[in-house]
């Protein structure tokens, strides 16, 4: 009886799960047109037509205040998407005031950022994302996403039809831990149980790779190279060759 169970478990991969932890933004997908600065610019153009503000002017006001700017400070007390966005309204408000808008209008526009940023139609997969996930699934790897993101990440993933490829999504907006906080990675290991092998794959050396390696997870830097990265590649299609050892890291 045990032998039969063992056979079934081994066939289904339950005996020795191999886990790949994927970053989302800049790794599997991206927001067309740009991220936060672009979203605030769009709100500005929509609400105050003709008032052009250079991207770097807005960007200067968006370099702090987001939860991922303080990964050392967990935000586990934020329990809902409403609370998460409400905590960011003052950041957007200050940015709009910083480029010359008056208070009532800046506040009004700050509340418009959520709808623009999280608009599902803006999000795109990279060309090599689905094919790489499918190839690695065929090699018995289980995929999870670990992302510092907005509360709408699950809807974005569903919209991109990425859901069937993923066993689980770990979103900082829900867990309260922003990469590279070690707890963000440890939570994945805890939930996924004893894995036979695990890798972190992401486009940020400081956030994804250094964070993962701080808790013993080997990292693969993707989309660009970094002199201190042990394994890195510009295309996701090379990830399987790094994992199976048929390609040396660069
Ligand atoms: Mg990223």
Would residue 250 count as lying in a domain?
Answer: no
Would residue 249 count as lying in a domain?
Answer: no
The last residue of a domain, from among 95, 121, 147: 121
User: Do 202 and 80 share a domain, yes or no?
Assistant: no
pLDDT in tens, 221-238: 999 899 999 999 999 999
Q: How far is the CA of 94 from the centre of ligand 1 (A)?
A: 25
pLDDT in tens, 174-218: 999 999 999 999 999 999 998 999 999 999 999 999 999 999 999
Instruction: Kindly give, in sequence order, each residue whose CB lies less than 8 Å from that of residue 89, ignoring residues fewer than 6 positions away.
Output: 107, 110, 111
Cis peptide before 180 (omega within 30 of 0): yes
In degrees, rounded to 5, the angle at the alpha carbon of residue 94 between the alpha carbons of residues 150 and 84 is 25
In terms of phi and psi (left: phi > 0; alpha: psi -120 to 50; beta: otherwise), the region of 124 is: beta
User: Do 130 and 117 share a domain, yes or no?
Assistant: no
Q: What's the pTM value of the predicted model, to 2 decimals?
A: 0.92
Q: How far is the CA of 69 from the centre of ligand 1 (A)?
A: 14
Q: How much is the pLDDT for 163?
A: 97
Tokens standing for 242? Answer: 């790094």
User: Do 136 and 159 share a domain, yes or no?
Assistant: yes
User: Do 137 and 198 share a domain, yes or no?
Assistant: yes
Number of domains in the chain: 2
Would residue 161 count as lying in a domain?
Answer: yes
Would residue 151 count as lying in a domain?
Answer: yes
Q: How far is the CA of 9 from the centre of ligand 1 (A)?
A: 34
The last residue of a domain, from among 96, 121, 146: 121
Query: Crossing angle, helix 81-98 and helix 36-47, to 10 degrees?
Result: 70
Q: How far is the CA of 176 from the centre of ligand 1 (A)?
A: 17
User: Do 232 and 110 share a domain, yes or no?
Assistant: no
For the beta sheet containing 197-202, the strands, ordered from the edge strand earlier in sequence to the opposite edge, are: 168-171, 141-147, 18-22, 197-202, 219-222, 232-233
User: Do 116 and 131 share a domain, yes or no?
Assistant: no
Would residue 53 count as lying in a domain?
Answer: yes
User: Do 149 and 219 share a domain, yes or no?
Assistant: yes
Segments forming the whole domain that contains residue 104:
36-121
Task: Look at the block and give the residue holding tokens 């959520």.
Answer: 114
User: Do 222 and 188 share a domain, yes or no?
Assistant: yes
Would residue 98 count as lying in a domain?
Answer: yes
CA atoms within 13 A on the CB side of 22: 26
Would residue 248 count as lying in a domain?
Answer: no
Task: Look at the block and give the residue holding tokens 């934020």.
Answer: 78
User: Do 144 and 104 share a domain, yes or no?
Assistant: no
pLDDT in tens, 48-104: 988 889 899 999 999 999 999 999 999 999 999 999 999 999 999 999 999 999 999
Domain at 145, CATH number: 3.40.50.1000
Around ion ligand 1, residues with a beta carbon closer than 5 Å are 23, 25-26, 203
User: Do 93 and 193 share a domain, yes or no?
Assistant: no
């Amino acid at each position: 009886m045990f032998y039969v169970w063992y056979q079934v478990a081994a066939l289904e991969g339950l005996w020795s799960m191999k886990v790949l932890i994927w970053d989302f933004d800049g790794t599997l997908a991206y927001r067309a047109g740009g991220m936060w600065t672009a979203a605030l610019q769009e709100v500005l153009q929509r609400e105050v037509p003709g008032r052009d503000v250079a991207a770097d002017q807005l960007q200067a006001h968006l370099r702090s205040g987001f939860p991922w700017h303080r990964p050392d400070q967990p935000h586990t007390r934020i329990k809902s998407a409403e609370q998460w966005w409400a905590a960011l309204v003052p950041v957007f408000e200050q940015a709009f005031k910083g480029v010359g808008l008056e208070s009532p209008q800046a506040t009004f526009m700050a509340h418009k950022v959520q709808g623009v940023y999280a608009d599902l139609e803006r999000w795109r997969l990279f060309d090599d994302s689905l094919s790489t996930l499918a190839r690695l699934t065929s090699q018995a790897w289980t995929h999870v996403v670990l992302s510092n993101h907005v509360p709408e990440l699950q809807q974005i993933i569903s919209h991109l039809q990425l859901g069937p490829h993923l066993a689980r999504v770990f979103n900082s907006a829900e867990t309260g831990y922003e990469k590279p906080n070690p707890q963000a990675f440890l939570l994945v290991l805890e939930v996924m149980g004893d894995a036979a092998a695990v890798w972190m794959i992401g486009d940020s050396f400081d956030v994804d790779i250094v964070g993962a390696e701080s808790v013993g997870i080997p990292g693969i830097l993707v989309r660009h190279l970094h002199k201190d990265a042990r394994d890195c590649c510009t295309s996701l299609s090379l990830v399987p060759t790094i994992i199976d050892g048929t390609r040396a890291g660069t």
